[in-house]
Amino acid sequence: MTDLAEFRAGTRAWLEANCPPGARGPGLIPTGSTKVEITDRDTRVWLDRMIEKGWTAPDWPKEYGGGGLNKLEYSILAEEMKRIEARPALGGFGVMMIGPTILEFGTEQQKRTHIPRITRAEVAWCQGYSEPGAGSDLASLSTRAEDRGDHFVINGQKVWTSGAHLADWMFILVRTDPNAPKHQGISFLLLPMDQPGITVRPIRMINGEAPFNATFFDNAVAAKDDLIGELNKGWTVGKRLLQHERSGMGELMMGSTGGVVEERLVDEARSALGHDGGRIADPVWRSRVAAHEMNRHAYRLAQRRAVEESEGGTPGPVSSIFKLYGSELQQDFYDLTTRMRGTRGFSTDLQTATAEEREMTSLWLHYRAVTIYSGSNEIQRNIIAKRVLGLPD
């Protein structure tokens, strides 16, 4: 315990000295995209310092640019970052999804090729999973990859491709054996986005933003060396990647912009509803806010327990519990935050609404989709029933 106390003291001192004021609280979290310039000086400084420290991926091996921290040290780092509201220096699919997957399934050459670029924020990734006819039933995917010796040629379409317009690389599930049963004959590939055979078309959302895309492949090329795992056995790799995503380990350990905002729910309620010595004035709303706060803390503790009890730091099928409950918890937060403001809760008018009110309305609209993407909550309930509770089909 003395070693951990020393680690905490050193971590606290380093964060205080190296985390700039502009990297504390809600704000930009870079993804590593070469197509997005980081113009905010504090964000750039924070990222560079964390890269040098190895803490853009604190628990990844040092030989690939990570921090080499164990679970307890990682937890302490998260607590100390949370204490000063330090944002993660790097986010996105690289650190949250494909990085852990390559570390688990990749060859040594694949690890040395891709992992350091992720930790150094030199590349942003997007996910090629869903298709127009294969969403929740992902194994029905039809995008094909033909083996041409030293490379694959890919044809087909993906949809709801988050951040594809800003990504440098994609990890993609493709059908490499069309005659195999649908859960077989699928392979997991990596491919560069900047090539003639890939077309990205933004999808405009209800809130006016376009973070998702339809992505088309017309003889796109992926190198044979960028096959992750075995040929025709990519379903196992693809499922594991989703467990990394759904476990929320990065969010749990390092926090997120959403997490920082959610922890201000009580302050939001005091401001919108009034208070007496800090106590929310309206007893009904006081009860609703208290219930949400208790649920949020229980959720975080359950996440931490699952990560600490898991092998390799990422829970297995139990991660579906976090996707299911976490998405509903996020929706509850934005429901509470908008509704407690009364008639100004869903403001979008440029003349009458403040920028903060418009942003909150946009976030409320955005989080309507959280129970659908990354595997709908109906799918998560099926996984929990079969693989966690052991119920029959």
Return the active site residues. 245
Contacts of 236 (CB under 8 A, 6+ apart): 229
CB 364 within 8 A of CB 341: no
Cα–Cα distance between 31 and 327 in angstroms, integer?
22
Bridge partners, residue 310, by sequence:
none
Under 8 Å between Cβ of 78 and 308: no
Distance CA 39, CA 15 (A): 22
Question: In the 8-state DSSP scheme, what is residue 376?
Answer: -
Distance CA 55, CA 191 (A): 26
Residue 190 phi, psi (nearest 5): -115, 140
CA-based nearest residue to 60, from 6, 129, 9, 114: 114
Give which of 59, 118, 130 is closest to 92, Cα–Cα: 118
Structure-block tokens of residue 338: 């908008």
> Which are the contacts of 201, defined by CB distance < 8 A and separation ≥ 6?
213, 214, 215, 216
User: Strand 227-228 and strand 186-192: pairing?
Assistant: antiparallel
DSSP secondary structure, 247-263, as one string: HTHHHHHH--HHHHHHT
- Going through the chain in order, the beta strands assigned E by DSSP cover 125-128, 144-147, 151-158, 169-175, 186-192, 198-203, 212-223, 227-228, 275-276, 279-280
